[in-house]
Structure 1
Amino acid sequence: MNPLDDYRIKDTKPRLGERWPHGSGSGSRSWIGGEKISTTYDLVEQTFYLYVRVVKARDLPSNPDPYVEVKLGNFKGKTQRFDQKTSPEWNQVFAFSKHKIHSSTLDVSVRDKEALGRDDYLGRIQFDLNEIPTRLPPDSPLAPQWYRLEDRHRLLRGELMLAVWIGSQADEAFPEAWHSDAAAVRGDGVFSVRSKVYVSPKLWYLRVHVIEAQDVAGEDRSQPPPAVFVKGVVGNQVGRTKVFPNRTANPVWGEDLLFVVAEPFEDVLVVTVESKAAPTRDEVVGRMSVSMNELERRMDHRPVHSRWFNLDRFGMGDYMEGKGPKFSARIHLRVCLEGGFHVLDESTLYISDQRPTTRQLWKQPIGILEVGILGANGLLPMKVRDGRGTTDAYCVAKYGHKWVRTRTIVESFSPKWNEQYTWEVYDPCTVVTLGVLDNCHLEGGNGRDSRIGKVRIRLSTLETDKIYTHSYPLLVLQPSGLKKMGELHLAFRFTCISLTQIIYLYSRPLLPKMHYIQPFTISQLDKLRNEAMNIVASRLCRAEPPLRKEVVEYMLDVDSHMWSMRRSKANFFRIASFFTGLVATSRWITQVCQWKNPITTVLVHVLLCILVCYPELILPTAFLYLFFIAVWNFRLRASHPPHMDTKMSWAEGVHPDELDEEFDTFPTSRPPDVVRMRYDRVRSVAGRIQTVAGDMATQGERFLALLSWRDPRATTIFLLFCLCAAVVLFVTPFKIVTLLVGLFLLRHPRFRSKMPSAPSSFFRRLPARADSML
């Protein structure tokens, strides 16, 4: 067996559940195109659990410190303990996996705080598992009821309110339940093992257009006005204009300062006018601040009214106390929050959301993405506990604004999650990302969750309404080389209600209109993207359980722009593979000219004579040829979505020195200091060259994707276009076609739009092999 086969996708045939509805807590209803669509919970293996909801107790003996212990076979769960409370309320749910149950009796006991010299047993309730009812959504939750505490055959004082039932992972109690898979977890670690859904914060671009200032003067009025610049500060973000070269009291800049802010707004905008007091020291001439909630919000390209703001002069102590005296200087700004843009919180290669910030500009969703995270197998030990290697794995999926996190399966190399999630899809040319990580916070530690592997799936490569069940290798590039960490089992389906809507989207611009009306520079995009990722990471860290910074950075490919000799090689050979087709064509022409195959050469002579005699057949013949190539390639189309291509990524057999360079810190930690400075400079320049090379390769691969059926809908559109073009060009005189094309290309700028044309938008939506880059 070829060892490289271990890095490929494998078809699986899991026993998926029947089409049984899941609970409202998982988002079982979605609006698509004005219709209410019911999703199902049929992409995972149906697993049953014994649920025990412990609500509260009453009339317990005086001065107890009660807690409830739920025991089933070898599994035991405990509630929170209350101090000296006769009527405690817990409202906690326990879930025991039914296939691991080796007992016929459920034992629920109320216990007192363990104390030396007295019994801590307050009473118990026993249930026969054969008598426990089964409940599946959309049935209403089972009503809890009071049970008298007993000791064997004797009733005791006190009652306990319980609800016991058998349900599936579709139950609304499933995400919040204590699971027997994590029975060994104690304390605060319990909160970090639960499955959760997170939502990215709503991000805005803050644009500060600095126009001019008036009456700017230094401390000494007898001296000429200083050469000043404007600095804007929002939280940890800092932007500054150029120094106005003329020493005047009324400087003019006309520059934009751009920031990223998130709702709810927590920072204020602080604008200062500063002068160069020394090469390494700046002196504040004036300062003003404004709250984000006071700023105008712009959804389109309409103009924003400018305002004059008075500048306050503060010493550092006065500024902190807010006692600075006002003076006559003021600054002219045009400040607004821009919601017509899509705030890029991820790499544009793997973008999962193309909607603008402002919800009013959103269109109706065109489909539903359903992902069943079945489980993983063959995971490697990620840490050592009690002298043996172990892994506490969980999976994170990200698409659009919605992040999901499965529960953590403790101490298992083959975890079974069987959790299903849904996302609304607004554009099929987007990517869903799934990552598997090791939970390092079960014992209250401060370590970083370790990366196990990641999977990316481009929705446009999926056929509509088809269920894909595959096992994806989890690959991680380490300083020691490429390593397979295990396999992730997934089932997913992309559903749409209108093929016409999807085809229409292929002719629309990739990003919102404002990106083309007021485009950003490359350096601005890099800065804003980095700030957006930092904000998303900091906000998701505040959730409970937190989605930690290292997880967010891993899912968003925060280090993808860093210099890597391996990536540069991969991008170069991507370009080379594109030109391979041209080289092959050149060789074929050479063989025809050299009569290597006489029959082929004769046929080419006949075709040449026909086209020379009838030039109007040239274009129809070319389009017809492309049509037949696409039809021929239909049988070679991929049977599953593309995955990480280790060979194309140059991850196999990479030189150790190149890996050492790729995993080196930035700035470099390698001596000496002079070499470090030059090395960092070369890496920075080379990173940009790497990006350009990748963009060139992407354009070439998009051209090849027209006929490769990698995106079945796009190839079908192009195939039909070629056929129609061949027919139209056949019946239309060639001279007329040439004239119309020439007039169109030479049209007046008044008749040109700043928006991309439909062919250009269609081409930018085609998939490239960048999705398969490791």
Structure 2
Amino acid sequence: MANQNQNQNQNRNQNQNQNPNRNPIPDEEFNLRETRPSLGGGRVSGSDRVGTAFNLVEQMEYLYVRVVKARNLPGKDGNGTPDSFVEVNIGGFKCLTKHFGNNSNPDWNQVFSILKDRIQTPIIEILVKDKARNGNNNSIGMVAFDAIDIPRRVPPDSPLAPEWYRLENPTGERVPGELMIAVWLGTQADEVFPEAWQLDVTTVNSDGVASIRSKVYLSPRLWYLRVNVIEAQELLIERNRQQPEFFVRVAHGNMILRTKISQTKNVNPLWNEDLMFAVAEPFEDQLVLFVEDKVGANKCEVLGQCSISLQGVEKRMDFKTPVSRWYVLEKIICSENGQKKVEKLNSRVHLRISFDGGYHVLDELTHYSSDLRPTGRQLWKPAIGVLEIGILSAQNLTAMKTKDGRGFTDAYCVAKYGQKWIRTRTILNSFNPKWNEQYTWEVYDPCTVITIGVFDNSQLQGGNANSNGNANAKDSKIGKVRIRLSTLETDRVYTHSYPLIVLSPSGVKKMGEIQLAVRFSCASLINMLTMYTQPLLPNLHYIHPLTTHQIEILRHQATQIVSTRLSRAEPPLRKEVVEYMLDVGSNMWSVRRSKANHSRIAWILSALVKIIKWFDQICEWKSPFITILVHILFLAFVCFPWMIFSTIFFYLFLIGTWNYRLRPRHPPHMDVRLSQADVAQKDELEEEFDTFPTSVKQVDVVKMRYDRLRAIASRVQTLFGDLATQGERFYNLLTWRDPRATALFLIFCLVASLVLYVTPPKAVISVMGFYAMRHPRFRDQLPSYPMNFLRRLPAKTDGLL
């Protein structure tokens, strides 16, 4: 360990010498800090939760004012009907209800709230005003409350019943009209809190208020649409075409795929090729198919087309082959006057179309999968646990906008797990916002990751303008946190402050910290441990695997669908936010990531190097006692070979047991050292943040080669990352990174040690050999139990930027 630390220090010094202008980043700058917030409420029960749940947020007291309705309001000079509205006045904070014209009995039913700590006056004034009265004296009457006398409501108590109050003038005299209101003190757990109008956000116009409140979003249900293009018959071509080049182009929405050119050079071409699309419910767009003939270098002739509705397409849940059908082709002919005419052809195309519900969509290519269930709900298994996240607060956020020469930030959080996305309310103009919002997700697989991101809201003035008036402003990213559930101990509440790290062309920067409270609970430990023996992905991924090229295209399609659908919600979850949460572009070429993956592989291989050096030391008799001990052990193994495997497994059991006291005490977090972000050169960062295709102005040939090199290098980078991931998973068998997985492995080692001790080695070797060479009839296409167990182990990918 000392040598390893020395080597790391030498590498850091070398990197600093290569980049002398970059200031060294203190190690504690990006460390995870354990906190002890005052979480309130103890235990609460829930019918849709597993067992009991903790209140994972700090209690925040709010003053609530519900303005229900009024009656018998007088008009101007006591005649007619007023144009009435209500003004809630608490100290320097004011807020108005909706305006009702020509109505003596208006019905508002609006709720206002404000933090109790922000109340600077003992008197709460609720004024009824008439918009038709000009000047400052447009008040009809008012109701005043003493803040000391306001009752307190604690859920699950029933809501406070509103009462009728007589209106008075400022001198306390009775005036015509009555107002029904309710005023009480509560917390953010009150059911009216999400829709209450915050009195401290009155600087935001009505169009921007919708983007401030907390919301829950559901991403669309995605399917894989498989179009198997088999063949075509009786295509009409020119007689002088001796070597036609037929291919099929299929379009769904704005996504277009095409087959290869058929090797059959006649009017009955054969393809038998699969084209895959990612499609979201409801199935709105039709599938449009074109059969074309390539007649020139950049010219194709459409021989026929057909439109296919997706409403009646078969949904396949198992391995059965769907039924194929013949579709008649049409040709659209444009007349001289511009009218279009559809002509039926004798040509037809043979297709096999199905929705594959046995696949999981979107997360196959990423290490940060939050949901591994198949699309078909019939294949879902019951939930194994509940994940609870308390988003408490943030500290020392960086100013993201400026106004009148002063920097400020309007921060909100987004969390993604499975199909459920959540967005907290926006805290205005604060570098230390406090959200104290709690959310719950059902967990179907512990080997999944939840992602929490922090963003700056730039949509508070309505439309597409930010506070500075910039059009088409985007919400700026402040940082994100990823937590793998399998690294959490069951029923333990984790309270940590996570650094928010962002990498930009100018280098890595800490944007602040976010404080979270996390708890993962399960109903049955046995059911959760059984998950470690199951395939990571649904069975169809192994029976009919997709190619790497198909997965890349499908993930791009799925990402675009999710970002488009969520941006259509109200308020929208913007495209830049969704893409940042989904790590779009994380597989592109980067010198920094390649160096990070190289360091990970070198760290894994360093264990083998240590063993070789240790053996050299034994041979050189640097420690006579250890050398003699090894000679005795070697002689014992020669005389009693059946003890070799038993001793190895028992030794692994002892190492894992010894490492239990050194097990990690907190979840993983972003590691700038591991990501090589602290030593990345300026030109490397410029290349990493370069567009694809490149925006560098160079010769076209050089540009083409450069883009091709980046595309190939990104796959090589992914390959090295996967190799490093496998090695780290082997290493984490004994490090208690995943407590349940390590416990299972240690139990297996202990049992294997005992079994191998009493079993003759010849029998063990014979069984292993015959099992490895067994007939294919006795083989299963699904991964083995050890392989499933290994793929579920955590790796250092959770800490990569």
Normalising by the residue count of structure 2, what TM-score does the alignment of the two structures yield?
A: 0.92
Moved more, 153-162 or 326-335: 153-162
Tell me the distance in 1 between the aligned counterparts of 2:236 and 2:70. 73
Secondary structure at the counterpart of residue 295 of structure 2:
strand
Given candidates 616, 624, 628, the residue that maps to 2:654 is 628
Given the alignment of the two structures, is residue 54 of structure 1 paired with residue 67 of structure 2, yes or no? yes
- What does residue range 596-607 of structure 1 map to in structure 2 within 5 Å? 596-607=622-633
1:391 aligned residue? 409
Contact kept, 8 Å, 2:333 with 2:340, in 1: the verdict is: no
User: For 1:36-62, what per-residue CA distance to the aligned partner results, in whole angstroms no more than 9, with x for missing partners?
Assistant: x4434x211111111122233444334
For residues 276 and 71 of structure 1, do their structure 2 counterparts lie closer, same or farther at Cα, with a shift above 3 Å needed?
Answer: same
Q: What secondary structure does 2:210 align onto?
A: helix
Confirm or deny: 8 A CA contact 2:411 2:456 kept in the other structure. yes
Whether contact under 8 Å (1:29, 1:39) holds in the other structure is: no
Aligned to 2:296: 278
Alignment correspondent of 1:705: 732
The equivalent of 1:735 in structure 2 is: 762
C-alpha distance 763-322 of structure 1, shift in aligned 2 (>3 A): farther
Structure 1 residues 316 and 128: alpha-carbon distance in aligned structure 2, compared to 1, 3 A threshold = farther
Aligned residue for 1:585, secondary structure, equals: helix
What corresponds to 1:25 in structure 2? none
CA distance in 1, matches of 2:559, 2:478: 21
What SS is found at the alignment partner of 1:348? coil
- Residues 311, 331 of structure 1: 8 Å contact kept: yes
Paired position in structure 2 for 1:187: 206
Shift of 1:63: 5.0
Q: Which of residues 691, 695, 708 in structure 2 aligns to 1:665?
A: 691
In 1, Cα distance between the equivalents of 2:110 and 2:295? 63
1:419-463 Cα offsets, whole Å, 9 max, x none, are: 111111111000010011100111231300011111000000000
Residue matched to 1:17: 40
* Cα distance in 2 for residues equivalent to 1:734 and 1:118: 99
Q: Distance in 2 between matches of 1:347 and 1:379?
A: 32
The yes-or-no answer on 1:338 pairing with 2:356 is: yes
Counterpart of 1:485?
511
In structure 2, what is the equivalent of residue 500 of structure 1? Answer: 526
Equivalent residues in 2 for 1:242-253 (5 A)? 242-253=260-271
Q: 1:507 to 1:135 in 2, by over 3 A?
A: same
**Cα displacement (A) at 1:533:** 0.7
Please give the alpha-carbon distance, in whole angstroms, between the structure 1 residues aligned to 2:320 and 2:694: 46
Is the contact made by 2:245 and 2:295 (CA closer than 8 Å) also made in structure 1?
A: no
CA distance in structure 1 between the aligned counterparts of 2:165 and 2:571, rounded to whole angstroms: 33
Aligned twin of 2:53: 39
Indicate whether 1:211 and 2:225 are aligned.
no
Contact 1:395 1:406 in 2 (8 A): yes
Write out aligned runs for 1:181-330 (5 A): 181-218=200-237, 220=238, 226-315=244-333, 323-330=341-348
The aligned amino acid for 1:650 is Q
CA 163–321 in structure 1, closer or farther in 2 if over 3 Å, else same: farther
Whether contact under 8 Å (1:308, 1:333) holds in the other structure is: yes
- For residue 77 of structure 1, report the CA deviation from its aligned partner: 1.7
| Structure 1 residues 515 and 321: CA distance shift in structure 2, 3 A | farther
Q: Structure 1 178/345 Cα, relative in aligned 2: closer, same or farther at 3 Å?
A: farther
Q: 2:189 aligns with which of 161, 164, 170?
A: 170
**Does the Cα contact within 8 Å between 1:29 and 1:38 map onto a contact in 2?**
no
Q: 2:367 aligns with which of 321, 337, 349?
A: 349
Of 149-158 and 94-103, the range deviating more from structure 2: 149-158
- In the alignment, structure 1 residue 135 sits paired with structure 2 residue 135: no
CA distance in 2, matches of 1:140, 1:292: 48
| AA aligned opposite 2:523 | I
Aligned to 1:463: 489
Residue of structure 1 in register with 2:398 after alignment: 380
In structure 2, distance between residues paired with 1:84 and 1:531: 53
Contact 1:227 1:248 in 2 (8 A): no
CA contact (8 A) 1:476 1:485 kept: yes
Residue identity matched to 1:71: N
- 1:312 touches 1:327 (CA, 8 Å); kept in 2? yes
| Structure 1 residue 690: Cα displacement | 0.6
1:435 pairs with 430, 453, 460, which one? 453
State the 1:90 CA deviation. Answer: 3.1
Relative to 1, partners in 2 of residues 1:49 and 1:322: Cα closer, same or farther, differing over 3 Å?
farther
Q: Does the 8 Å contact 2:43/2:52 carry over to 1?
A: no
- So what's the TM-score if we normalise by structure 1? 0.95
What is the CA–CA distance in structure 2 between the aligned matches of 1:288 and 1:2, rounded to whole Å?
A: 61
Query: What percent of counterpart residues are identical?
Result: 55
**Unaligned stretches of 5+ residues in structure 1:** 23-27
Q: 1:340 to 1:130 in 2, by over 3 A?
A: same
Question: RMSD of the TM alignment (CA)?
Answer: 2.0
Preserved contact between residue 650 and residue 749 of structure 2 (Cα < 8 Å): yes
Output the amino acid matched with 1:740. V
1:110 aligned residue: 128
Q: How many Å separate the matches in 1 of 2:612 and 2:101?
A: 86
Inter-partner Cα distance in structure 2 for 1:557 and 1:709 = 28
Mark the CA change 1:14 to 1:322 in structure 2 (over 3 Å): closer, same or farther.
farther
Query: Aligned ranges for residues 573-652 of structure 1 at < 5 Å?
Result: 573-652=599-678
2:783 corresponds in structure 1 to 756
Q: How many residues align?
A: 763
Secondary structure of 1:313's match?
Answer: strand
Contact 1:351–1:430, Cα closer than 8 Å, also in 2: yes
**Deviations along 1:378-434, whole A, 9 cap, x unmatched?**
111111023210000001111111111111000000000011111111110000100
Contact 1:397/1:434 (CA < 8 Å) preserved in 2? yes
Q: Distance in 2 between matches of 1:75 and 1:190?
A: 16
Deviates more, 1:226-235 or 1:432-441: 226-235
Instruction: Tell me the equivalent position of 1:79.
Output: 97
Tell whether the 8 Å contact from 1:66 to 1:112 is kept in structure 2 after alignment.
yes
The 8 Å contact of residues 334 and 341 in structure 2, kept in 1 or not, is answered as no
Give the one of 704, 718, 724 matched to 1:691: 718
Q: Which residue of 2 aligns with 1:678?
A: 705
Return the match for 1:715 from 742, 749, 754. 742
Amino acid corresponding to residue 359 of structure 1 in structure 2 = R
Q: Secondary structure at the match of 2:332?
A: coil
Deviation per CA, 1:280-333: give whole Å up to 9, x if none.
Answer: 222221111122212111112122111111111113689998740112111111
Higher mean C-alpha deviation, range 688-697 or range 98-107 = 98-107
Deviations 1:536-589 (A, max 9, x none): 000101111111000000111002011110001000110010000000000000
Q: Does 1:423 align with 2:441?
A: yes
Which amino acid is the alignment partner of residue 713 of structure 1?
Answer: R
User: Aligned partner of 2:112: which letter?
Assistant: F
Give me the whole-angstrom Cα distance separating, in 2, the residues matched to 1:166 and 1:320: 70
What is the CA distance between 1:173 and its match in structure 2?
A: 1.2
1:158–1:770 Cα change, 3 Å: same
- Whole-angstrom CA distance in 1 between matches of 2:150 and 2:162: 13
- Against the structure 1 CA distance between its residues 346 and 185, is the aligned structure 2 distance closer, same or farther, given a 3 Å change threshold? farther
Partner of 1:656: 682
Give the corresponding residue for 1:725. Answer: 752
